[in-house]
């Protein structure tokens, strides 16, 4: 049994070495807990086997990335040789260049979008830390307003299948608000504890911003590649004199590039989650704050080494499932829009229902994957084994009820959605102001707005994942050793014990 030293110099409030609970009904949960903690290395935790897990998916991930690089190289070389098909920055630059397809003006636009996404994502994270409760209330209200707005829009445009569905969603969201509102104190305290931990472990922000810049750089690369693909294979371009061009080829290549972008972006974000869970957050939970002297040296670097090598195949496996569901949902949304435009309401309604179902499944997989990645980060398990163990752990402890009631994920997801919307609005306004020659009839407005939205949302989700990784690690720790949280964050433990006694059962009592 691992015995933690009882007399330690005072540390930060979130990680005090001794727990002296206030007199209340939940004191029996912790008053006999005298610092007796399980060995942090139990079950191979923090010391996984030196085995490459899920190698097939690791190979597939590397191959698709090489394929993306090959397509990018071919299209960019042609695009560069043609001088980017002209175009420049601002209104005067937008009037020059080819009028056939995307040119260099779009590159400048999406570079500005990427910079805006980084700035807005950082600002949202700072506001969330300073005004945690207010941001959560605003999140709930804006979620309801968004559902009502979509509902009204669909009724006005006579898109009745979508209007009926969103009317039901809007009504349910209004009634759900009062139940959600009561959960804000717990979610707010949970978020504040994670933020406080990150303040004492600067590696959290180092990982978050490193992932953010890698994500932004990849988004820029994807942007260049997509524009160069349009430029090389769209019929009527100069390059078509030496190579075959068709709209089908452009659509197929853009689909592959979007798939590669989504999958790689998922992997980048999930590697960051695994690094933080197996590094600063996991070490804080199981070893205590750095001031206690029990935490291993360089936990973040060690966790990153495991996540980017031995566990990369497992992370790619879980990320691929979400990517395929995301693509399927986008295809169904496109089918729904086409059916609605052609006046087929029944087909549109069926496609809408199918897209909603796929979206629900995708959210469930994303929700579950996050905790499987924690198991992968802590124990180095393959994806399937981690998923099974996570499911058993949650059902045994009832952690799923606590997670479902947490508003942290919804708050951060809404922030990513808002950043994506603002970036797409910025892209739209830039197009309106510069009026580039290739978009004279507005045919490229939709794809540029979509690219801008993706870039903004992915960048914000990347930086938010640093905070959500801490929340997820605490939940997994609660499932394995709930008594440890009584020492690390007593106020949070007391609130959880009051609202979810099943989660804290097994903690020694008098």
Q: So what's the pLDDT on residue 398?
A: 63
> Which two structure tokens, joined as six digits, stand for 50?
């030196």
Q: Is the pLDDT of residue 404 over 90?
A: no
Per-residue pLDDT for 237 more than 80? no
Mean pLDDT in residue range 437-463: 75
Is-contact 495 447, C-beta < 8 A?
A: no
Q: CA 18, 130, 16 angle in degrees (round to 5)?
A: 5
pLDDT, greater one: 145 or 374? 374
Distance of CA 203 to the CA centre of its chain: 19
Query: Is residue 455 over pLDDT 50?
Result: yes
Q: pTM score, two decimals?
A: 0.74
User: Can you give the pLDDT at residue 316?
Assistant: 95
Give yes or no for residue 95 having a pLDDT over 70: no
pLDDT: which is higher, 126 or 322: 322
User: What local confidence, expressed as pLDDT, does residue 1 receive?
Assistant: 38
Closest to 282 in 3D by CA, of 45, 10, 507, 16: 45
The yes-or-no verdict on residue 24 having pLDDT over 60 is no
Contact 370, 273 (CB under 8 A): yes
Cα-based torsion angle of the residue sequence 460, 466, 467, 469 in order, rounded to the nearest 10 degrees: 120
Question: Does the structure show a pLDDT above 90 at 69?
Answer: yes
CA distance 305 to 307: 6
Q: What is the pLDDT of residues 185-234, one digit of tens each?
A: 777 788 878 878 887 788 888 898 888 888 878 887 887 888 888 878 87
Percentage of residues of the chain with pLDDT beyond 70: 80
Split at pLDDT 50, 70, 90, the class of 93 is very low
Per-residue pLDDT tens digits for 153-188: 778 877 666 677 678 877 877 777 777 777 777 777
Q: What is the mean pLDDT of residues 66-93?
A: 71
Nearest to 356 by CA among 162, 501, 177: 162
- CA–CA distances in Å: residue 29 to residues 7, 13, 310, 401, 480: 21, 20, 39, 20, 16
Per residue in 245-302, pLDDT tens?
A: 777 888 889 889 989 999 999 999 899 999 999 999 988 888 888 777 778 888 899 9
Give the residue extent of every domain in the chain: 38-85+96-141+180-308+386-480
């Amino acid at each position: 049994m691992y015995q933690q030293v009882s007399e330690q110099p005072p540390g930060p409030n979130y990680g005090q070495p001794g727990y002296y609970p206030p007199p209340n009904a939940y004191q029996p949960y912790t008053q006999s807990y005298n610092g007796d903690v399980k060995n942090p290395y139990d079950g191979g935790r923090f010391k996984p086997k030196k085995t490459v897990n899920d190698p097939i998916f690791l190979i597939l991930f590397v191959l698709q990335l090489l394929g993306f690089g090959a397509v990018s190289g071919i299209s960019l070389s042609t695009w560069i040789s043609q001088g980017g098909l002209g175009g420049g920055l601002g209104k005067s630059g937008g009037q020059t260049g080819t009028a056939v397809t995307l040119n260099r003006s779009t590159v400048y636009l999406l570079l500005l979008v990427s910079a805006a996404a980084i700035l807005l994502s950082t600002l949202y994270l700072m506001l969330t830390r300073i005004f945690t409760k207010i941001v959560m209330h605003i999140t709930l209200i804006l979620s309801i307003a968004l559902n009502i707005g979509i509902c009204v829009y669909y009724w006005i445009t006579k898109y009745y299948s979508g209007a009926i569905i969103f009317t039901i969603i809007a009504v349910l969201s209004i009634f759900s608000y009062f139940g959600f509102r009561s959960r804000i104190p717990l979610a707010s305290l949970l978020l504040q504890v994670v933020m406080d931990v990150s303040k004492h472990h600067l590696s959290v922000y180092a990982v978050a911003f490193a992932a953010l810049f890698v994500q932004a750089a990849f988004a820029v690369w994807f942007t260049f590649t997509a524009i160069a693909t349009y430029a090389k294979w769209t019929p009527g371009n100069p390059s078509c004199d030496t190579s075959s061009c068709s709209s089908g080829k452009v659509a197929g290549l853009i689909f592959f590039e979007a798939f590669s972008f989504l999958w790689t972006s998922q992997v980048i974000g999930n590697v960051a989650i695994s690094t933080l869970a197996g590094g600063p957050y996991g070490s804080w939970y199981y070893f205590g704050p750095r001031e206690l002297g029990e935490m291993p040296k360089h936990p973040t670097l060690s966790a990153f080494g495991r996540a980017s090598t031995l566990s990369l195949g497992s992370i790619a496996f879980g990320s691929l499932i979400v990517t395929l569901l995301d693509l399927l949902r986008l295809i169904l949304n496109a089918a729904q829009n086409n059916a609605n435009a052609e006046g087929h309401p029944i087909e549109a309604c069926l496609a809408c229902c199918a897209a909603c179902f796929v979206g629900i499944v995708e959210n469930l997989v994303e929700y579950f994957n996050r905790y499987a990645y924690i198991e992968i980060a802590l124990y180095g398990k393959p994806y399937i084994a981690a998923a099974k163990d996570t499911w058993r752990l949650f059902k045994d402890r009832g952690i799923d009820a606590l997670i479902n009631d947490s508003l942290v994920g919804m708050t951060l997801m809404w922030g990513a959605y808002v950043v994506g919307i603002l970036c797409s609005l910025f892209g739209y306004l830039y197009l309106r102001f510069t009026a580039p020659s290739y978009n004279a009839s507005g045919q490229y407005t939709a794809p540029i707005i979509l690219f801008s939205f993706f870039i903004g949302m992915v960048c914000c989700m990347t930086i938010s994942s640093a905070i959500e990784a801490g929340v997820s690690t605490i939940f997994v720790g609660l499932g394995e050793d709930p008594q440890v949280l009584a020492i690390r964050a007593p106020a949070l433990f007391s609130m959880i014990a009051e609202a979810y006694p099943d989660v804290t059962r097994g903690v020694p009592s008098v």
